[in-house]
């Protein structure tokens, strides 16, 4: 007689089943279910095979705004933030995509804002996609050391109004999942939710996406999370960077109200991309040692979106003028 072993179902199995029960039986997770599923993942309460199945089922389905909000809430609750009250960050800026066609000029946008008293916290990761330049690798060319803890990030923000904290120090568990991309061959929901962590609870959040369909998902998830102000764009390469050669749709959230705004192109003709991406051009542009109208327009145009998001101006033209003035009056030291 065959002996059959009966096993008690793993608590996480229900979430895999909800997503994978076939064309007619599967459904999205509720926000509470998404919260509990991610809570278990962050607490190492799932088996590796379950994690892989869950992430790939989510990838095929694509995360809803409720799922994304639940995931983010769970990860935020797992983070160990400084206990001393810390600094008040003004602007949260994520950098996870990397650049392939152009240099990451947006880094100069954040430094320009920081030079004008805006406290910017940047977080991101690197190396998960071949052939891209990542912020973490470029900062050294600008004489900036990335932080390795929340406490160090706080000290940097106090000193310079800017800090970059890699995901491996911000949230090691999410970093480990992102590092599975070469093994799985696909991105996972972690690439989306990491962008929206906003660990210092900044009132203003900038978001960049590559696939246009994710733009309203970020916008609406922020609404569920009671984020006061957010702007999301289809950024160059997926980063938060306005391409001055084309129009830019900015989808925003302000105190519970969703809005869309078209920012027009700054040039009539498109520029030819650089054949070689040399990070030394970043500090050279800041110091005024080289001229590059595309790069300069990118820096100013990206900063302008942040300024309007933060209510520093009321119109696109005013935002452009303010950012341009900041650029012209910047300190050339870096």
CATH number (domain holding residue 73): 1.20.970.10
The pLDDT of residue 54 is above 90 = yes
Q: Name which residue leads in pLDDT, 233 or 129.
A: 233
Phi and psi at residue 135, in whole multiples of 5°?
A: -50, -45
Same domain, 211 and 262: yes
Same domain, 95 and 74: no
Helix residue spans in the chain (DSSP H): 13-20, 22-25, 31-42, 48-61, 65-78, 106-114, 135-138, 150-160, 167-170, 172-178, 181-184, 190-193, 214-224, 281-287, 293-309, 316-328
Separation of alpha carbons 323 and 306, rounded Å: 9
Same domain, 73 and 32: yes
Comparing 124-128, 133-137, 188-192, 237-241, the range with the smallest average pLDDT is 124-128
The domain in which residue 149 lies consists of 91-328
Reported pTM: 0.93
The pLDDT of residue 154 is above 90 = yes
Instruction: Dump pLDDT digits (tens) for 37-51.
Output: 999 999 999 999 999
Last residue of a domain, one of 78, 103, 127: 78
The pLDDT of residue 1 is above 50 = no
Q: Is residue 39 part of a domain?
A: yes
Q: Is residue 40 part of a domain?
A: yes
Q: Is residue 226 part of a domain?
A: yes
Q: Is residue 265 part of a domain?
A: yes
Comparing 9-18, 107-116, 270-279, the range with the smallest average pLDDT is 270-279
Q: According to the model, what pLDDT value does residue 180 have? A: 87
Same domain, 143 and 106: yes
Instruction: Dump pLDDT digits (tens) for 91-102.
Output: 999 999 999 889
Same domain, 98 and 160: yes
> Which residue in this structure is represented by tokens 């070469």?
182
Q: What's the mean pLDDT in 194-201?
A: 95
Q: What percent of the chain has pLDDT over 90?
A: 79
Q: Is residue 185 part of a domain?
A: yes
Q: According to the model, what pLDDT value does residue 126 have? A: 86
Last residue of a domain, one of 56, 78, 100: 78
The pLDDT of residue 70 is above 70 = yes
């Amino acid at each position: 007689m065959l002996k059959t072993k009966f096993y008690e179902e793993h608590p996480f199995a229900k979430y895999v089943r909800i997503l994978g029960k076939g064309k007619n039986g599967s459904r999205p997770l509720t926000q509470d279910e998404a919260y509990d599923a991610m809570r278990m993942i962050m607490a190492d309460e799932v088996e590796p095979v379950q994690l892989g199945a869950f992430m790939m089922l989510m990838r095929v389905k694509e995360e809803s705004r409720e799922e994304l909000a639940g995931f983010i809430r769970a990860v935020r609750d797992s983070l160990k933030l400084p206990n001393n009250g810390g600094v008040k960050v003004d602007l949260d800026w994520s950098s996870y995509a990397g650049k392939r066609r152009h240099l990451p000029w947006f880094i100069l946008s954040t430094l320009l804002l920081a030079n004008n008293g805006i406290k910017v916290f940047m977080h991101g990761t690197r190396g998960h996609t071949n052939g891209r330049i990542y912020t973490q690798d470029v900062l050294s060319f600008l004489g900036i050391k990335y932080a390795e803890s929340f406490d160090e990030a706080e000290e940097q923000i106090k000193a310079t109004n800017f800090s970059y904290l890699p995901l491996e120090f911000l949230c090691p568990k999410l970093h480990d999942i992102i590092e599975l991309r070469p093994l799985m061959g696909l991105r996972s929901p972690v690439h989306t939710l990491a962008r929206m962590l906003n660990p210092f609870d900044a009132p203003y959040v900038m978001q960049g996406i590559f696939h246009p369909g994710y733009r309203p998902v970020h916008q609406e998830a922020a609404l569920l999370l009671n984020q006061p102000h957010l702007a999301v764009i289809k950024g160059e390469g997926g980063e938060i960077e306005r391409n001055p050669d084309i129009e830019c749709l900015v989808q925003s959230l302000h105190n519970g109200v969703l809005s869309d705004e078209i920012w027009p192109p700054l040039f009539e003709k498109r520029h030819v991309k650089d054949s070689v991406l040399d990070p030394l051009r970043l500090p050279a542009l800041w110091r005024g040692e080289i001229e590059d109208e595309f790069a300069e327009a990118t820096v100013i145009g990206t900063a302008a979106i942040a300024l309007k998001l933060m209510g520093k101006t009321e119109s696109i033209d005013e935002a452009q003028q303010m950012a341009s003035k900041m650029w012209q009056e910047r300190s050339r030291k870096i």
